[in-house]
Amino acid sequence: MDNVKILDCTLRDGGYYNNWDFSTNFAKNYLKVLSKTSVNIIEIGFRKPINNIGSGPSGLSKIGKFLTSSEKDLSKLKFDRNKKISVMIDLSDYTGEEGLNSLKKNFISSKKSVVKIVRIACNFTDKEKLEKIVKYLKNNNYTVCVNLMKFTILTNQEILSFFKIAIRFGADYLYLADSFGNCKPNKILNISKYIKKGGINLNRLGFHSHDNTGDALNNTIASIKMGFGVIDTSIMGMGRGAGNLKLEDFLKYKKKNTELKKVNIFSKKFMKNLYEEYKWGKNKYYIYSAKNNIHPTFVQRFLEEEKFKKDRMIKILKFLKKNKATQYDMNIFDNLFLDVIKHKKVQSKKLNKIAILCDNLHTKNINLKKLRLNGYATSTLNFINFINSKYLDYIFMCNAYRIFTEIEKALSTKNVSLILPHYKILRHLIKRNQNKIINYNIKKNNKIKIQNNFCGYEKNLVLIYALSYCIMQKFEEIKIFGLTKNISNLKILEQIKNFLKKGNYKTKIILK
């Protein structure tokens, strides 16, 4: 038990809350305090093959440097020679010819890098794609760990076969990652016996816990007792969803009181503010998601929305349970929530021109009063906090997630009508607010389709939705303010113009 290695992944897993935007000062103090503990391995972050961080609307402007953990950024930090440094990669980022080229670009020989260990996050179904990645990293002298995600929904035989394939490709360590946070100590004991019987040395195994049900420490203790070689922690448990095993709890369990005191001093100075802001940890929603194999990031995203009404959380989680939402993807709402009720009437407009404002700071200073005086109806794509609703007529909303998180705020705006699909899941809310809601449906369709009561498109996008409604209402002029001119939006505008041309519509679309 005393030989187990401790890997701390605060900067990597904790980054799911602050977009990996830890300051250099934070990182330096984090490394300094860990140098005084029995932590053996420090996972400094992800190494994503991204090169457009901070480049504006088309880039990831809010993403911090520990998502890429580049050699250049790591060179600015001081590392204890007694600690091994690791990074994690997602298998999906480095598959195929293009992915392999990115791998070669992002991973020089470990002899020239501070990074010595690479952990690969992999799903069972993608196991055959590991070979080239593992072999390249091994050839460049990295210690390679293969992390099996979502192992609790797999059979023991599937877990064993996955690990045997990873070993055949050259992996040094094999990880069980409790992605849903629903593992129990007895399950670890059962899996461990099966794997050992299958001929794998349990000292090669690692365990990554999530604390959705409060069992992170008990699960970790069970894995250590079975002979696992590595276990994961993070300071104050900061990590995706409900978080991980707290380093503090593990140090307390090991009776490392001097180390615990030093970590607590660091936490009080650097971690408490993060916790107050993001409030990770066990709650009834994470418990529900764990019990029903729902990816915990759904819960995390819902809780991050301050506008979100928590009394609807279980209702939506039940829907996700029904639809087996084991993979995190916000587009799941497009596919699953587009269940609409037919309706007979769409409210007609009173003006022949409409202004549409996008959620963009460039629209903040648009004079809605002046637009109204010039004969325009005024509207926004989704609810926009900084828009003065006094001179606003309509809010277009069609994306189910945006509706669930923003509808209460939108309904509270006086004298503003909401234009949204008649979702079955919202039928009671729609019925109670009939005087404020105009129903216009959207459906999945391979080609653009615009009709009086609904539009169809390959994706649930509010731009296509709003334009379709305005065209069917025979607005002669649609003036759009603050639209991001990305590939998706330009494609929509081109398709709309072709539709107008073929149908001999008089509607004119103007970008401002």
Residues 432 and 304 placed together within one structural domain of the fold? no
Among 432, 439, 401, 402, residue whose Cα is nearest residue 417? 439
Distances in whole angstroms, Cα of residue 409 to Cα of each of 7, 176, 307, 404, 415: 43, 42, 7, 10, 13
Distance of alpha carbon 380 from alpha carbon 356, whole angstroms:
5
Q: Give the residue numbers spanning the domain of 181.
A: 5-278
Question: Hey, which bits of 334-375 come out as E strands?
Answer: 353-357
Query: Residue 244 above 50 pLDDT?
Result: yes
H or E segment and range at residue 510: strand 508-511
Residues 125 and 241 placed together within one structural domain of the fold? yes
Among 165, 221, 157, 231, residue whose Cα is nearest residue 195? 157
DSSP three-state, residue 477 = strand
Task: Determine contact, residues 116/81, Cβ cutoff 8 Å.
Answer: no
Strands 417-420 and 449-450: unpaired
Task: Pick the more confident residue, 407 or 353.
Answer: 353
Distance of alpha carbon 430 from alpha carbon 445, whole angstroms:
25
Q: What is the pLDDT of residues 173-193, one digit of tens each?
A: 999 999 999 999 999 999 999
Of 243, 278, 313, which residue constitutes the final position of a domain? 278
pLDDT, averaged across the chain: 88
Residues 412 and 294 placed together within one structural domain of the fold? no
Residues 117 and 177 placed together within one structural domain of the fold? yes
| pLDDT for res 297 | 85
* Residue 155, C-beta contacts closer than 8 angstroms, at least 6 positions apart: none
Query: Residue 52 above 50 pLDDT?
Result: no
Q: Any long-range contacts for 247-254 (C-beta under 8 Å, 24+ apart)?
A: 247/6, 247/8, 247/10, 247/37, 247/39, 249/216, 249/217, 250/6, 250/217, 250/220, 251/37, 251/38, 253/217, 253/221, 254/38
Residues 62 and 166 placed together within one structural domain of the fold? yes
Residues 202 and 318 placed together within one structural domain of the fold? no
Query: Residue 387 above 80 pLDDT?
Result: yes
Query: Residue 452 above 50 pLDDT?
Result: yes
Q: Quote the number of domains for the chain.
A: 3
Instruction: Give residue 235's pLDDT band: very low, low, confident or very high (50, 70, 90).
Output: very high
346 in a domain, yes or no?
A: no
| pLDDT for res 129 | 95
CATH number for the domain spanning 114: value is 3.20.20.70
Q: What is the pLDDT of residues 100-157, one digit of tens each?
A: 999 999 999 999 999 999 999 999 999 999 999 999 999 999 999 999 999 999 999 9
Residues 292 and 357 placed together within one structural domain of the fold? no
Query: Residue 204 above 80 pLDDT?
Result: yes
Residues 379 and 270 placed together within one structural domain of the fold? no
470 in a domain, yes or no?
A: yes
Task: Pick the more confident residue, 317 or 274.
Answer: 274
Residues 81 and 211 placed together within one structural domain of the fold? yes
Helices (H) and strands (E) in the chain, counts: 21, 18
Residue whose token pair is 């994306």: 399
Query: Residue 158 above 60 pLDDT?
Result: yes
197 in a domain, yes or no?
A: yes
Q: What is the pLDDT of residues 246-293, one digit of tens each?
A: 999 999 999 999 999 999 999 999 999 999 999 999 888 888 898 998
Phi, psi of 174 (to 5 degrees): -125, 125
Residues 304 and 244 placed together within one structural domain of the fold? no
Residues 305 and 395 placed together within one structural domain of the fold? no
| pLDDT for res 59 | 40
420 in a domain, yes or no?
A: yes
DSSP 8-state code for residue 246: B
338 in a domain, yes or no?
A: no
The residue length of the chain stands at: 512
Query: Residue 307 above 70 pLDDT?
Result: no
pTM of model > 0.75: no
Residues 234 and 100 placed together within one structural domain of the fold? yes
List the Cα angle 19/22/28 in 5-degree steps. 155
Estimate to the nearest angstrom the gap between the alpha carbon of 152 and the chain centroid: 21
Query: Residue 336 above 50 pLDDT?
Result: no
502 in a domain, yes or no?
A: yes
Q: Which strands, in side-by-side order, build the sheet including 449-450?
A: 441-444, 454-457, 449-450
* Residue 208, C-beta contacts closer than 8 angstroms, at least 6 positions apart: 9, 147, 175, 176, 177, 178, 232, 244
Instruction: Give residue 339's pLDDT band: very low, low, confident or very high (50, 70, 90).
Output: low
388 in a domain, yes or no?
A: yes
| pLDDT for res 353 | 93
| pLDDT for res 331 | 63
341 in a domain, yes or no?
A: no
